[in-house]
């Protein structure tokens, strides 16, 4: 019934009971959700971090008075343009800005169109992005903290 199933080598999110069911959010959790959302993370990404549903995150943010961003769907007929922009040298971040969506949306579309696994797909960074990541790492921030701050996944930080 309900709940999440976790592989034996994965730890359950902190807000779950022994069976993996979500047990509620503390005020610190709610504050962190707002920070992450205002920092550019999607409701789905936050839900994954907290071990709850996307709707629980959006409901919590709404109750806290946070204005939710509209969901941006890029029509399929525009997907080939994304690859063209990327092949012309634009970063995924630049392309996402042009389409008004998250960088992760651009990655997902490119991986689908190019039919590559995430290990074969190498994101591009601006020199400024790279220097920012290096600086944060040298100051002792974890890969997760850096990823959250710049709005990407830890694997993106590792790849740089």
pLDDT value at position 12?
Answer: 44
Q: Report how far residue 46's alpha carbon sits from residue 55's, in angstroms, rounded to the nearest whole number.
A: 11
pLDDT value at position 1?
Answer: 36
Contacts of 143 by beta carbon, 8 Å cutoff, 6+ apart: 137, 154, 157, 158
> 16 forms bridges with which residues in the sheet?
22
Taking every pair of Cα atoms in the chain, the longest distance, rounded to a whole number of angstroms, is 50
Q: Domain 1-71: which CATH class?
A: mainly alpha
Which residue in 59, 61, 69 sits closest to 32, CA to CA?
61
- What tens digit of pLDDT does each residue of 78-115 get? 998 988 888 888 877 788 888 888 777 887 888 788 77
Band (pLDDT 50/70/90 cuts) for residue 137 is: confident
Question: Hey, where are the domains in the chain?
Answer: 1-71, 76-114, 127-159
- What tens digit of pLDDT does each residue of 54-84 get? 899 999 999 999 998 877 788 999 998 988 8
pLDDT value at position 10?
Answer: 41
128 pLDDT higher than 70:
yes
pLDDT value at position 116?
Answer: 60
pLDDT value at position 122?
Answer: 56
């Amino acid at each position: 019934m309900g709940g999440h199933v976790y592989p034996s080598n994965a730890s359950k999110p902190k807000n779950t009971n022994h069976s993996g069911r979500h047990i509620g959010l503390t005020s610190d959790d709610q504050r962190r959700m707002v920070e992450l959302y205002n920092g550019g993370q999607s409701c789905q990404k936050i839900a994954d971090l907290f071990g709850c549903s996307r709707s629980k995150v959006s409901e919590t943010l709404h109750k806290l008075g946070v204005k939710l961003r509209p969901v941006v769907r890029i029509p399929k007929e525009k997907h080939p343009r994304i690859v063209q922009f990327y092949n012309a040298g634009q970063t995924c971040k630049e392309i996402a800005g042009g389409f008004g969506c998250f960088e992760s949306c651009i990655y997902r579309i490119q991986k689908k169109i190019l039919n590559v696994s995430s290990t074969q797909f190498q994101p591009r960074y601006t020199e400024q992005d790279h220097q920012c990541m290096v600086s944060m790492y040298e100051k002792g921030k974890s890969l997760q903290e850096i990823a959250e701050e710049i709005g990407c996944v830890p694997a993106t930080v590792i790849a740089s």
